[in-house]
């Protein structure tokens, strides 16, 4: 059974029209793990996008993360005509002292960039984070050379908090800086 992600309890499923295709933002299911792993392996072939190397993360780890975030966080997929075109999640840090910090991962699958998929996934996650009282901060790391992603995060109010010099070794051996960025929910004070 596929469940739709939605902006709030009782709200209708999210449907986003982009370039003639019907993009649906859905809650990830463990059965999506193989498609997510394959898309990440393909994405990892493009230097400067993801840290991992193809095949480095086993499919079982994706299944476990999807199952964990069904209760602890939020894991979404973007789907068009039955195929996954992106995925994203918010994962709380594991210690009580920083469990209010959720780490963001977002991947638009190869061949689907520039069509609003990342924007739709990020909007849903941040809408959820805004409503979820446990979320006090959303953090992410992005390669210094990934300007497309940095622009997207900036549009949503993320700010750069850190630069980790020569943090990521690309497959060609060059080192690239990683940027730490953060977003804070705006909540009304009681």
Domain ranges within the chain, ordered by starting residue: 15-183
Contacts of 188 (CB under 8 A, 6+ apart): none
Per-residue pLDDT, 54: 64
Max intra-chain CA distance, the chain: 53
Per-residue pLDDT, 169: 87
Q: Is the pLDDT reported for residue 69 higher than 70?
A: yes
Of 130, 119, 37, 24, the closest CA to residue 77 belongs to 24
Per-residue pLDDT, 147: 94
Q: Is the pLDDT reported for residue 6 higher than 60?
A: no
Residues facing residue 179 across a β-bridge: 142, 163
Candidate ranges 10-14, 39-43, 114-118; pick with highest mean pLDDT: 114-118
16 pLDDT band (50/70/90 cuts)? low
**CATH of region 15-183:** 3.40.630.30
8 pLDDT band (50/70/90 cuts)? very low
Report, as an integer, the average pLDDT of 6-29: 62
Q: Is the pLDDT reported for residue 68 higher than 60?
A: yes
Report, as an integer, the average pLDDT of 66-78: 96
């Amino acid at each position: 059974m596929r469940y739709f992600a939605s902006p709030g309890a009782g709200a209708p499923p999210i449907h986003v029209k982009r370039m003639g295709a019907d993009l649906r933002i859905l809650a990830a299911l463990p059965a999506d793990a193989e498609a997510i792993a394959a898309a990440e392996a393909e994405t990892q072939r493009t230097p400067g996008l993801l840290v991992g190397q193809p095949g480095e993360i086993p499919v079982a780890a994706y299944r476990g993360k999807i199952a964990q975030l069904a209760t602890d966080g939020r894991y979404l997929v973007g789907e068009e005509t039955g195929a996954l075109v992106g995925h994203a999640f918010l994962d709380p840090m594991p210690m009580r002292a920083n469990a209010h910090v959720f780490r963001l991962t977002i991947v638009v699958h190869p061949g689907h960039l520039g069509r609003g998929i990342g924007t739709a996934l990020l909007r849903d996650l941040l809408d959820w984070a805004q409503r979820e009282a446990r979320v006090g901060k959303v953090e992410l790391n992005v390669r210094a050379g990934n300007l497309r992603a940095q622009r997207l995060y900036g549009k949503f109010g993320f700010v750069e908090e850190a630069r980790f010099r020569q943090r990521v070794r690309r497959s060609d051996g060059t080192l690239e800086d990683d940027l730490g960025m953060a977003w804070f929910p705006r909540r009304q004070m009681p």
